[in-house]
Amino acid sequence: MTPTNGYITTPDGVRLFFQKLGNGPTTIVLINGFYLLDDFKRLASRYTLISLDLRNRGQSDFITDDSKLQRGIHQDADDLEVVRQHFGLTQLNLIGHSYAGTVVMLYAVNHPSYAGRIVQIGATPPDGSKRYPAHLTNEDSVLAEFFSKVQELEKERASTDPVRFCEKFWKLLRVIYVANPADADKIKWGSCNLPTELNLMKYYLGSIAPSLQSLKLTAQDLGVVKSAVLTIHGTKDRSGPYGGALDWVEMLPNAQLLTIEGVAHAPWIEAPDQVFSALENFFAVSPGEGSKRL
């Protein structure tokens, strides 16, 4: 299946890259498809799948003007409305992983009448300042070892080619995204050949992380969201605490939780049958259906 590629230009002149696959009656927008599309393209056999790279990510424009980045996830959520209008969609069905799982919910809060069915996978919490007890996080020895190795790697930054440094960093990072070390080789998210991803940490630490940490969505905020929401989360996630998934589902009016035991930040890699079966069923049912847990 050959995708259709193109760009969507935002009001401030930033181009967002997209790829469109399939021609099903239901359209789903997959956020940051530059690292997800290969795994999720199976959905295009049944749905129209639009893979979107967020601002300053993937093959979207590499931005050097900090004024276009400073709002972090809030700007990303605003950009999604530009995407909906570009494709002439009545509602926006969304899949967001990691911090994009929070971006898609911000869109639903800001545009409840345009938000369709929404999937969060390994999403960051609705309250960025909240700290969870040990059994709802996975701050284990693997995570501690990762931070130790990154500190050592930093000593090489000045003397190492930037692309090579990026590749070394991702070789370390991928280990924390899976519970089973044997699955680490399946993580191919680095994209160090792209200027956006080569410079990701500066953008993430300067804009994305602060916007996540200052976020404090409440049950009242989320009460306006009438969309059906599917929250998929592994109990061993080191990047987005499992406790955050419990909070999302507790506060959203029409959410269901798919807990996947013993997997980390990439549940579709470690439990593909569970994840893709849930996705296909979720997008196939009528909009009014929903329950609290799967």
Q: Are 10 and 16 in contact (CB under 8 A)?
A: yes
CA distance 18 to 12: 18
Residue 192 covered by a domain: no
Q: How many domains does the chain have?
A: 1
User: What region does 260 belong to: left with phi over 0, alpha with psi -120 to 50, or beta?
Assistant: beta
Residue 210 covered by a domain: yes
> Looking at residue 118, which CATH number applies to its domain?
3.40.50.1820
Q: Are 77 and 118 in contact (CB under 8 A)?
A: no
- Per-residue pLDDT 10s for the chain (294 aa) are 677 999 999 999 999 999 999 999 999 999 999 999 999 999 999 999 999 999 999 999 999 999 999 999 999 999 999 999 999 999 999 999 999 999 999 999 999 999 999 999 999 999 999 999 999 999 999 999 999 999 999 999 999 999 999 999 999 999 999 999 999 999 999 999 999 999 999 999 999 999 999 999 999 999 999 999 999 999 999 999 999 999 999 999 999 999 999 999 999 999 999 999 999 999 995 443 333 334
Residue 162 covered by a domain: no
CA distance 2 to 21: 7
Residue 246 covered by a domain: yes
Residue 48 covered by a domain: yes
Does this model's pTM top 0.85? yes
Residue 214 covered by a domain: yes
Q: Is the dihedral of CA 93, 96, 101, 103 positive or negative?
A: negative
Residue 178 covered by a domain: no
Domain that holds residue 50: 4-137+205-284
Residue 27 half-sphere exposure toward CB, CA atoms < 13 A: 15
Predicted pLDDT of residue 85: 97
Residue 132 covered by a domain: yes
* Short-list 216, 213, 270, 237, CA closest to 135: 237
